[in-house]
Structure 1
Amino acid sequence: MSRRTVLFLLAFASFAIAADKPNIIFILSDDLAQGDLGCYGQKLIQTPNLDRMAKEGTRYLQAYCGTSVCAPSRSSLMTGLHSGHCPIRANREIQPEGQKPLPAGTITVAKILKDAGYATACCGKWGMGMFDTSGSPLKLGFDHFFGYNCQRHAHSYFPSFLYNDDRRFELPGNTGKGIGKTYAQSLIADETLKFVRANKDRPFFLYYAITLPHGNHEIDDLGIYAKENWTLTQKSYAAQVTRLDSDVGRLLALLKELKLDENTLVMLSGDNGSSFDPKSEVGSLFDQASNGLRGFKRGLYEGALRQAALARWPGKVPAGRVSDEPWAFWDFLPTAAELAGTPIPAECKTDGLSLVSFLKGGPAPKRDHFYWELHEGASLQAVRFDHWKAVRQGPEKPIELYDLQTDAAESNDLAKTKPDLVVKAEALMQSSRTPDPDWPLVQKRPGKGKKKAK
């Protein structure tokens, strides 16, 4: 066999292997609520690209985030661990820049996919460790990073600097205080397209952690909302959501242009439920509680945990499907591993279940329960088993019990009439968490009260 023939066969085999591994894009929008999108019933904010994505794919009504604030929710997505096991279970700031880092040796979706031959990139916001810590995205499986590392820094859409990998670059003319020449999202959106173009001939994983529409509510162009009789904040929020929509539209258009869309799974989700009280300035106008759910960001009721979620993969994910079967962020890691045809490392103790069959039209995977906790103030806990949902607003508070099958709004507490289910819920809350000195169960955060950890 000639050398040329050998090289041809090797190249063909490499191409065949690459073609068998779908590209994976997970778009995580910061604070996007179900009620923000037309495909979920929004009437005032225009989201034509995401509405089309829903028509061309599947829309999920019970997709659950990791928990209801940024860092722990994202950590759950990346590690495949729910917040009873995840090393990050709340937002914890580090000065002068960054958040509490993921520990050394953490296995992430990106690490698994990189080891399986994928090019990997995170564009947008990280928030799980600065570059000089164990939580740097460049130490956890990502070949490339572009955007904001620190989520506090990401509150500004006109920042004075961003990062390209771990290299800081300045944005002249930007104050970091809502005024400037360069809208950061423009650069981030362009970088996602650049990454896709550069890796069109090999399998890739893009974690597009877009900061829109999180506050501060700054936008470079109010567009179609400029003449509305709304407050500036309301106009800006609507424009942010529509800008998110248009930037996702650009990415989907590029996949089609490069003839990649039939080999690319694109998933989109918010990182938590609505960030607004329904009675607030923004929430009241856009009726973000129109889905009938209780609660919002920083709580553990359904309105805080369910978020907008779409999946598109032409020929694989059913078009026009609407599913009310539940899944959660920690399912993404085993899903990605199965898609890549690679085993999950033995040392990776995921809580998730693969969604591949579910994404392709089958039923959701069956499981014993879902679990969440959060440590922003009092330590909150919630557990869902079958159609029952239990919530505890702190270790000294009674467990509340709701029947989601008949009461998705969690308006009728059945705890007193279902004591056996309360006992079961409490047992699940205890067994679902690994005690951690960083995350003790407290009625108030240390320094904010006299209650001792439990």
Structure 2
Amino acid sequence: MKTSIKASIVLLFFILPHLNFWAQQQIDLHDEKPNVIFILTDDQRFDALGYTGNKLISTPEMDKLAKEGTFFSQAAVTTPICAASRASILTGLYERSHNYNFSTKKIRDAYMQTSYPKILKNNGYYTAFYGKYGVRYNGLDEQFNEFESYDRNAKYPDKRGYYYKTLGKDTVHLTRYTGQKALDFINSKNSLRPFCLSLSFSAPHAHDSAEDQYFWQEESDKLLQNKNVPSAKLKDDQYFNAQPNFVKSGFNRLRWSWRYNTPQKYQHSVKGYYRMISGIDREITKIRKALKKKGLHKNTVIIVMGDNGYFLGERQLAGKWLLYDNSIRVPLIIYDPRIKKQKDSEEPALNIDIAPTILSLAGITPPKEYHGNSLMPIIKNPNNKLERDTILFEHLWEFEHIPPSEGVRTKEWKYIRYINDMSLEELYNLNSDPQEINNLAKAPQYRSILEKLRKKCNALIHEKTDPYFDGPKSLQVVIQKAPQGIPEFHWQPANKNFQQTSYQILLASSKENINDNIGDLWNSGQVNEEKHYVPKNGRIYLKDGGTYFWKVRIWDNKNRFSKYSEYQTIQLNNSK
């Protein structure tokens, strides 16, 4: 008996450390940080999935994720274009702050130092990226342990633009290629180290250089084969004619002529758009099966989002860019398998919320510079609120075929104005007019609401503006000769580190015009000049006794522009 007790004591002596080890392992596994898979689609609008009631599209896996997770029914992007939106997703910042779009040479490195993948990597996560990165930046190796950045190949004006990637000996659709890269990544995971895999599909973006525009996988051929897609909403001429001339003659209309201007094109394009989304859905199914097979499904959060909305022929328009809901609203699904009975939310989630949400999932406090908020409190408790009563939206890219615009949205109202002519305003009551048809901006009974939203828009712009974006200061005008004065305009950059490469001056005959960014006497356009004054050969003649108003904005060596300066009044004395 004594021998047995002694033997037991010896056995426990050897077993206890191991029991402690396994107990610790159980604690670690219970408390381990989740894996995150962030899936971004290109041009998927808010209602382009079955979960929203769309009977035409086939998205069973996205629908399942939405049912099991949290679907944000009012989700939107702050800028409805892929480059700026993707920069906002990475940095948690408004375009007004990161100031990145298609015309800028690259995003400012300081903002990418606080991008969500960089912070995750620095805090022990294994990070990976595959697909369309969409932002000019040379430091992907600082953000990701492994990555491959690619998009449609524009040199092929046909289906090869989407079928130029190979797996083995086969040339495959980019959707299949991206999905396989995700599967290979998941199947290679043998470590308890948490990971964040960011996937950016090029679909369902049209292939602009191709006559057919949309190219889908063979598996999608049968979808909608015997269906007739209903006509676009707001397709009548009156809705197109209500647009400003620069919209009617711009890229929104041009691309409508590529995709929707005949019944045949319309059927082909809408079906093609939906079929390409279905291709992504099939890859998500494979990804979820791979997670389950690998035993990772119970601790991997999946986020699905579109990078911007999309016009499917509404108002006889195509593309995105404008600030109507077609263009800014997107699907957003967050599925956390650790949280049971997730509920949908009507909170106004934004693309700038993705970075802080992913960081909070990893147990990391988001940088205080972020404009977005973590959505996890809402996912954990749907009674929580974002306390975001008014949202700023903006499209700042200066391009002659796409008018820059800005505005705000509340639960009830939306206010829109065009930056290069702010006298063109739109006001919609979203409760009574969700399709944004009846512009109330000039209705006297809504003037107080209009003025309130104008002020709120200005306040949010000021709040979200980065110091680099500040307009020039120390404005001065030297009049060379009267009564027909030849003004020479002088200014200084507000930021001493701002390396001016060009400028734009507006000269107006009234305070109203200069406030609306209308240079009715002179709009210099963007002039490539590093000097902080307009030389004498830039002549504008001002009459003696007149009162005039001017302001200026400048561009730096990366083609990032500042705000306009405050306007300055020019008062010429009467001749004696």
TM-score, length-normalised on structure 1? 0.78
**Bigger RCO of structures 1 and 2 (CA < 8 A, at least 6 apart):** 1
**1:257-289: CA deviations, max 9, x gaps?**
223222222111111112432366xx9xxxxxx
- Which residue in 1 is equivalent to 2:201? 210
Distance verdict in 2 for CA 1:262–1:91, change over 3 Å:
same
8 Å contact kept, 2:98–2:108:
no
- Which residue in 1 is equivalent to 2:355? 333
1:184 matches 2:174: yes
- Which residue in 2 is equivalent to 1:292? none
- Which residue in 1 is equivalent to 2:49? 37
- Which residue in 1 is equivalent to 2:403? 378
For the pair shown, the structure with the greater C-alpha radius of gyration is 2
CA distance in 1 between counterparts of 2:95 and 2:419 reads 15
CA distance in 2 between counterparts of 1:353 and 1:314 reads 21
CA distance in 2 between counterparts of 1:151 and 1:426 reads 42
Distance verdict in 2 for CA 1:153–1:92, change over 3 Å:
farther
- Which residue in 2 is equivalent to 1:353? 373
CA distance in 2 between counterparts of 1:155 and 1:37 reads 28
**1:213-259: CA deviations, max 9, x gaps?**
11121124143138447755444333212111101111122222223
Equivalent residue for 1:239, pick from 271, 275, 283: 275
Distance verdict in 2 for CA 1:277–1:260, change over 3 Å:
same
CA distance in 2 between counterparts of 1:396 and 1:206 reads 43
CA distance in 2 between counterparts of 1:67 and 1:373 reads 5
1:307 matches 2:319: no
8 Å contact kept, 1:36–1:45:
yes
8 Å contact kept, 1:355–1:364:
no
Paired residue type of 1:191: K
CA displacement at 1:210 relative to structure 2: 1.0
Equivalent residue for 1:277, pick from 313, 337, 360: 313
Q: Secondary structure at the match of 2:222?
A: helix
Q: Secondary structure at the match of 2:96?
A: coil
Distance verdict in 2 for CA 1:220–1:333, change over 3 Å:
closer
CA distance in 2 between counterparts of 1:360 and 1:391 reads 34
State which drifts further: 61-70 or 226-235.
226-235
Q: Describe how 1:47-58 pairs up with structure 2 within 5 A.
A: 47-58=59-70
Q: Secondary structure at the match of 1:33?
A: coil
Paired residue type of 1:388: W
1:262 matches 2:272: no
- Which residue in 1 is equivalent to 2:115? 108
1:225 matches 2:227: no
State which drifts further: 59-68 or 377-386.
377-386
Structure 2 unmatched ranges of 5 or more? 1-12, 208-213, 228-263, 472-501, 505-515, 528-550, 554-563, 565-576
CA displacement at 1:69 relative to structure 2: 0.7
Paired residue type of 1:358: I
CA distance in 1 between counterparts of 2:374 and 2:35 reads 17
- Which residue in 2 is equivalent to 1:388? 413
Equivalent residue for 2:188, pick from 198, 219, 228: 198
CA distance in 1 between counterparts of 2:440 and 2:378 reads 32
- Which residue in 1 is equivalent to 2:386? 365
Paired residue type of 2:320: K
Distance verdict in 2 for CA 1:172–1:29, change over 3 Å:
closer
8 Å contact kept, 1:69–1:272:
yes
8 Å contact kept, 1:384–1:390:
yes
- Which residue in 1 is equivalent to 2:40? 28
Distance verdict in 2 for CA 1:442–1:273, change over 3 Å:
farther
**1:6-29: CA deviations, max 9, x gaps?**
9x8599579817943111222111
8 Å contact kept, 1:22–1:339:
yes
CA displacement at 1:87 relative to structure 2: 2.8
Q: Describe how 1:86-165 pairs up with structure 2 within 5 A.
A: 86-88=98-100, 90-92=101-103, 100-104=106-110, 106=112, 107-130=114-137, 133=138, 136-139=139-142, 141-148=143-150, 158-159=160-161
Structure 1 unmatched ranges of 5 or more? 95-99, 163-169, 175-179, 284-294
CA distance in 2 between counterparts of 1:251 and 1:77 reads 22
Give percent identity, aligned residues only.
27
Q: Secondary structure at the match of 1:267?
A: strand
8 Å contact kept, 1:338–1:356:
yes
Paired residue type of 2:178: I
CA distance in 2 between counterparts of 1:87 and 1:108 reads 15
Q: Secondary structure at the match of 1:268?
A: strand
CA distance in 1 between counterparts of 2:41 and 2:340 reads 21
**1:145-196: CA deviations, max 9, x gaps?**
124168967998635998xxxxxxx85999xxxxx93323222111112222
CA displacement at 1:73 relative to structure 2: 0.6
CA distance in 2 between counterparts of 1:66 and 1:26 reads 18
Distance verdict in 2 for CA 1:151–1:422, change over 3 Å:
farther
CA displacement at 1:41 relative to structure 2: 1.9
CA distance in 1 between counterparts of 2:43 and 2:313 reads 13
Paired residue type of 1:196: I
CA distance in 2 between counterparts of 1:236 and 1:79 reads 32
CA displacement at 1:53 relative to structure 2: 1.6
Distance verdict in 2 for CA 1:275–1:410, change over 3 Å:
closer
Distance verdict in 2 for CA 1:161–1:15, change over 3 Å:
farther
- Which residue in 1 is equivalent to 2:438? 412
CA distance in 2 between counterparts of 1:390 and 1:181 reads 47
Paired residue type of 2:341: P
Q: Secondary structure at the match of 1:432?
A: helix
**1:27-63: CA deviations, max 9, x gaps?**
1110112332111122222111112222212222100
